[in-house]
Amino acid sequence: MTMVRPFEGLLRPPIEWYSSFSCLAGIILLFILSPNFNIDSALMILISILGIIRFKQGYRIFRYQNNLKKMPIYKMNSKELPINKKKLFLGKGFLWTTIHTQRLRDLDLSYNLDYAKSKDFDVGGKPCIHGVGDNKDNNIYLNLIERAGHVSVIGTTGVGKTRFAELLISQDIHRGDVVIVLDPKGDKELLNRIKTEAKNAHRESDVMILHLGFPKESCRYNPIGHFTKVTQVATRITNALPSTGESAAFKEFAWKYVNLVTRALVAMEIKLTYQIIQFYITRLDDLLIHYCETVMTKIDSNYENTIESIIALNTKVNKKTGDIKKPTRRQAIFMYSNQYAENLNQNREIKPDLLSDLVHASYMDKTYYTKITASLSPLLEKLCTGDIAELLSPNENNKNDHRPTLDWLSVIKEKKIVYVGMDAMTDQVVSAAVGNAMLSDLVSKAHQHSAGASSEEEQEIGKSVAGNTTKIHMAVESCGLPIDFDITGGEVHDCKIACDFIARLPLSEYTIADKGYDKEEIRGLIRERNSIPIIPRKINSKTGNADIDWGLYKYRHLVENFFARLKHFRAIATRFDKLKRNYTAVLALACAFLWLPV
């Protein structure tokens, strides 16, 4: 019987060398005896070839076992990096198959453990994982188009994950791309490598360093200074608060009042910083006064007259002493705001009003308010104390501070190289708070200004009334399960692809479609396939719909039901993939998933 996958005996002594050395000894013996005996030279050549073959077979066993214990040295300097506009060099490696899995499993057997004992090795990890490749390494590349998704690198401590990151970063720098490195711990070697590669690529002026551990040497950055929606600010600040157990409720309350302060500051056209938020979150009365003096003067044309009349109406004269007691302007503003809120309640106007919300918050019981915002104050205190405060709440009017200010929009447009050291080992709370806010800020900018690597591959994203859209043409069988589909831009009419789409469908007794497929050419194609078309004609048709079986047409709801189920997959309902091939793959996977219960 012929074995499809022959047994591999790689974990054994190289016994092939025994026969190889025997052949060598035989050749020597024949060479010595050749003067006395008439020995054919062809025999000696044949034995030599056999000995060489057996030696090579034994050497393969020896080399495989040696590679299991120590990897061969592989070095490359920055000048030797293969820079490519379309591909990313990952290093050397091999395609992992079931054979390699079997080889690795064989090493776990008790009688094979000695083969996996590694020698003195500069890099951590297990050399045997690479050694099972039998020294058949090739250069490994990744298409830059595929890099638009997430790339995960998994490895234990000391196996070279950071060095691998340096390899990718170096290529990005030399390629002239935008490079943003978020380093949780603050690896000094990684930072030095970025500086070196930027110098080699003549991009020294593009390097910007933000390091929470060295605020005075870092560029400045305001994590809440830029946003697309006001609510993003409160989310960035409160994301660092605990959200498990009873803390979740306090986090929601903290979000509410941070959002209230943020809305007021935005209306007052004040630049948002952590210090401004910290100041007003505990001084809602002052915020109410400043809001009225800044915003209400523009909204209410009678604001000043109303304040003066309130002061006049509430001025009292002591008849005995003649002393005049009149309210201060601050007290008058409080009276004005209360009167404003009461008028809204009396008129039963249900609408979002910032001043009413500020009045309600400022008159809240101080003890209760302090309790529900207790978890927020320590966080803001850490972000607004010492040198870190000048770093995260930059004062643009301070001419003595010459440190540049980091802005993600400028970074993306000018293709900068940014290194961010979070210093998480020293202060985990500040690192987490700044990191969450920074990622939210970065995503909001990158989402608007980036569209992935340029590519000539099909995207099938078209302009329609709804904007950039994609249309899915779907065919289902009598039970409502998908048979085939096609993807086009949103502007493509159903009739344009209908003939080619229907031609590749399996034969059926009836073909049901909506008015979008009202075309005689389509009906003719369906009849040629020995199927009856159930397609209503449009209202302006002269032929009419007398021949339509409306009972059968009701089954068209099956395809609508299928689309309703398909929209449960978020990656389908809101397309995230740029290329048609990727979106097609996701759609095919969703269709396969819906077939599983059958």
Note whether 85 and 4 are same-domain residues: yes
258 pLDDT above the threshold of 80: yes
The verdict on residue 580 lying in a domain is yes
| Co-location of 364 and 380 in the same domain | no
Q: Tell me, what's the pLDDT at 1?
A: 39
Assess whether pLDDT exceeds 60 at residue 449. no
Of 32-36, 123-127, 170-174, highest mean pLDDT: 170-174
Q: Is residue 574 part of a domain?
A: yes
Average per-residue pLDDT for the chain: 84
For tokens 């019987």, name the residue. 1
| pTM of full prediction above 0.75 | no
**pLDDT higher than threshold 60 for residue 571:** yes
Pair (276, 388) in one structural domain: yes
- Is the residue at 137 inside a domain? no
**What are the backbone dihedrals phi and psi of residue 321, each rounded to the nearest 5 degrees, phi first?**
-95, -20
pLDDT in tens, 548-568: 899 999 999 999 999 989 988
* 288 part of a folded domain: no
Higher-pLDDT residue of 45 and 34 is 45
Using the predicted structure, report yes or no on whether residue 342 has a pLDDT greater than 80: no
pLDDT tens sequence across 284-327: 889 989 998 888 888 888 888 888 888 888 888 777 777 778 88
Same domain, 27 and 57: yes
Which phi and psi (to 5°) does residue 62 adopt? -65, -45
Q: Are residues 514 and 561 in the same domain?
A: yes
**Residue 214 — pLDDT band, cuts 50, 70, 90?**
confident
Contact in structure between 512 and 558 (CB atoms under 8 Å): no
Would you call 91 helix, strand, or coil by DSSP? strand
pLDDT over 60 at 398, yes or no: yes
213 versus 149: which is more confidently predicted?
213
pLDDT beyond 50 at 350: no
The token pair that represents 521 in the structure block: 């050419």
**pLDDT at position 38, please?**
56
Does some domain include residue 146? no
> How sure is the predictor about 390, in pLDDT bands with cuts at 50, 70 and 90?
confident
Counting residues of the chain whose pLDDT is more than 70, the rounded percentage is 91
Evaluate if residue 483 carries a pLDDT over 90. yes
Q: What is the pLDDT of residue 119?
A: 67
Shared domain for 484 and 349, answered yes or no, is no
Look at residue 54 and tell me if it is in a domain: yes
Tell which of 349, 368, 387 closes a domain: 368
- Residues 496, 431 share a domain: no
pLDDT computed for residue 573 by the predictor: 83
Q: With respect to residue 144, please indicate whether it lies within any of the assigned structural domains.
A: no
* Residue at 149 is within a domain: no
Please give the distance of CA 85 from its chain centroid, rounded to a whole number. Answer: 22
Residue 220, both tokens = 């400045």
pLDDT for 242 equals 81
**Per-residue pLDDT tens over the stretch 359-372:** 888 888 788 788 77
Q: How many CA atoms lie less than 13 Å away from 189 in the CB half-sphere?
A: 8
Task: Please report which confidence band the pLDDT of residue 86 belongs to, taking 50, 70 and 90 as the band edges.
Answer: confident
| Number of folded domains that form the chain | 4
What interhelical angle do 247-267 and 274-281 show, nearest 10?
110
pLDDT in the model for residue 359? 85
Structural domain boundaries, residue 13: 1-126
Q: Are residues 115 and 220 in the same domain?
A: no
Checking if the pLDDT of 240 tops 70, the result is: yes
